[in-house]
Structure 1
Amino acid sequence: MRSAERLALAALALASAALLAGCGSVGMRLRGTPEPAPATVASAPAPESAASAAVAAAPRAASTGPIAPATQRAYDDALALLRAGHAADAERGFRALAQSDPDLAGPHANLGLLARQAGHLPEAITELEKATTLAPGLAVAWNQLGLAYRQGGEFTKARDAYDHALALDPNYANAVLNLGVLDDLYLADSARALELYTRYLALTPGGDPVVMKWVADVKNRKPAGAAAPAASATAPAAAPKEKS
């Protein structure tokens, strides 16, 4: 398992623990507040997993009343189904919760995640926008919204969503990486991409050899019109790709 995936799973485990304890930081309570690629590429990172990207917390607007135990159990059950790979059953559970308790952010966030991974971008954006409206302090939902915007070609909105996630959690490694990929491939800002890739590596225990290759690629990149570099025996870097 890659280091970033371990970080994501560890974060979800901490979120779940905080949720069960009824306390925690940013949004950890029920009630709370790359298609383009170089001509030749190595194998890309493994595709994201819905289970590893699941939104464990389910905060909602602070003005609402306490969460019913049955609602908490239903959310936990749907989350367990998602982590076990039963996406269709999990989706039904989240959808039922979104209908019965529409001010709960977690079901909307996970429905958005599932819709995005299925390629249903309008639904994904709608659900994730609901989640971030209900729980503006939930950084993971802003990151997912950024991914959905980017997939839909709304690059400025994607950048704003990632920036929002990082304003909430400056050490959110996946959001740092995703913003770097956006700047690198879609906004043509190599300087900022290099800064963000380097920042991501500093946040990633054990490093990430794929992203290290992206850093080398950006550093070796020539301005438009410059002579092409000499051929190298080193394998080209994989195309930069986001992480949930």
Structure 2
Amino acid sequence: MAMVFVNPARRGALITTILLSGCAGLGSMNDPVSAPEKPEVDVVAAAVTQVESAPGSEHRYLPRQAYDAQGEKVTYVPAPNPYTTAPVAVPSEVIARFQRANELMVEEQHRDARKAFEAITRDYPDLSGPWVKLGELAEIGERMERAEKSYRKALEVNPDNVNAYLSLALFQRRTGDFDGARATYLSALQLWSDFPGAHLNLAILYDLYLNQPKKAQPHYEAYQFLVGDEDPRVADWLIEVRRRTGIETSFIDIPPPPPETTGEAAASEPMAADKSPAAEQTEENG
């Protein structure tokens, strides 16, 4: 199965828009007092410790299709992205500098791009977006230790930067640290449970790299539920995974049982075992 790794915070014009809109969640850049305080512990490690301590914790990050009293579907409203919802304006001068630095990167003028992003981090230390780009540039230059430090610095500056979680997790996957990538995706979902990119990339990690299709299936379904039927590739992958798991019922959309017509009719029907996708699953070995 051909898998495509989805990262909505990569190169090109789209990445500029995404990262700059995210800068609004980084605190005021004109008031250094409002800059996020440096955390005393690793952001990812602390989040994952909480996730791992809860039994069946991954399923609590799955979206659920709700139904009203008449059994009709209730429109699902995803939680907002915490990185893009903070009401802080970004100075136009910073936007222009970021765009120019990103253009240099796209044009493969990597040295100049790195200098430009580094200058932004010095002038605006409460911005996390430039640190993500510095991590990407370090990867391009095969400076892996520096790349990881840059991604983690982005999360240190702003623990709400969901793009930084995704970039760090993809870096960990590319370098073979599959357990670390899983932990980082779970940290992102703890922050924003309706993060489509985290669900999809976690599903791909489970499916293609860890050979755990039963753990992949719920996250493929979560991605498809959150974005709709916009990506036919994921629909095909989900069909293929369901063939392997044998689980055809949904983890996301579990309709309520039909109302009983009469007590006599209900009594005449055989008792059905209460089965859910989660109950039917067997735990897979790593």
**Does TM, scored on the shorter chain, surpass 0.5?**
yes
What is the aligned partner in structure 2 of residue 122 from structure 1?
145
TM-score, length basis structure 2: 0.52
Pairing of 1:89-108 with structure 2 (within 5 A) = 89-98=112-121, 104-108=127-131
1:174 aligns with 2:197: yes
For residues 93-114 of structure 1, the C-alpha deviation after alignment (integer angstroms, 9 at most, x for no partner) is 1123345555642221111123
What is the aligned partner in structure 2 of residue 185 from structure 1?
208
Native 8 Å contact 2:135 2:151 kept in 1:
yes
Q: Aligned pairs, how many?
A: 184
Q: What CA distance in whole angstroms lies between the structure 2 residues aligned with 1:68 and 1:7? A: 21
Q: Tell me by how many angstroms 1:79 deviates.
A: 4.0
Q: Tell me by how many angstroms 1:121 deviates.
A: 2.8
What is the aligned partner in structure 2 of residue 16 from structure 1?
20
- Which one of 121, 137, 142 corresponds to residue 160 of structure 2? 137
Native 8 Å contact 1:121 1:151 kept in 2:
no
Q: Tell me by how many angstroms 1:126 deviates.
A: 1.4
Structure exhibiting the larger radius of gyration computed from Cα positions: 2
Q: What CA distance in whole angstroms lies between the structure 2 residues aligned with 1:153 and 1:204? A: 29
Native 8 Å contact 1:109 1:141 kept in 2:
yes
- Matched position secondary structure for 2:227: coil
Pairing of 1:229-244 with structure 2 (within 5 A) = none
For residues 171-191 of structure 1, the C-alpha deviation after alignment (integer angstroms, 9 at most, x for no partner) is 221111111111112222211
Identity of aligned residues (%): 27
For residues 126-155 of structure 1, the C-alpha deviation after alignment (integer angstroms, 9 at most, x for no partner) is 110111112111111011100111111111
- Which one of 161, 167, 181 corresponds to residue 158 of structure 1? 181
Native 8 Å contact 1:32 1:135 kept in 2:
no
Superposition CA RMSD, Å:
3.7
Pairing of 1:33-48 with structure 2 (within 5 A) = 33=36
Native 8 Å contact 1:145 1:158 kept in 2:
yes
Q: Structure 1's 18 and 143: CA in aligned 2 closer, same or farther, altered over 3 A?
A: closer
Native 8 Å contact 1:139 1:164 kept in 2:
no
For residues 52-97 of structure 1, the C-alpha deviation after alignment (integer angstroms, 9 at most, x for no partner) is xxxxx89xxxxxxxx9986665345424555x64552433211233
Q: What CA distance in whole angstroms lies between the structure 1 residues aligned with 2:235 and 2:150? A: 34
Native 8 Å contact 1:81 1:90 kept in 2:
yes
Q: Structure 1's 28 and 98: CA in aligned 2 closer, same or farther, altered over 3 A?
A: closer
What is the aligned partner in structure 2 of residue 214 from structure 1?
237
Native 8 Å contact 2:134 2:147 kept in 1:
yes
Q: Which has the larger displacement, 112-121 or 180-189?
A: 112-121
What is the aligned partner in structure 1 of residue 70 from structure 2?
none
Native 8 Å contact 2:8 2:197 kept in 1:
no
Q: Write the letter of the residue equivalent to 2:209.
A: Y
Q: What CA distance in whole angstroms lies between the structure 1 residues aligned with 2:19 and 2:126? A: 20
Q: What CA distance in whole angstroms lies between the structure 2 residues aligned with 1:90 and 1:165? A: 28
1:199 aligns with 2:222: yes
Q: Write the letter of the residue equivalent to 1:124.
A: A
1:111 aligns with 2:115: no
Q: What CA distance in whole angstroms lies between the structure 1 residues aligned with 2:22 and 2:163? A: 15
Q: Write the letter of the residue equivalent to 1:111.
A: L
Q: Which has the larger displacement, 159-168 or 110-119?
A: 110-119
Q: What CA distance in whole angstroms lies between the structure 1 residues aligned with 2:107 and 2:101? A: 11
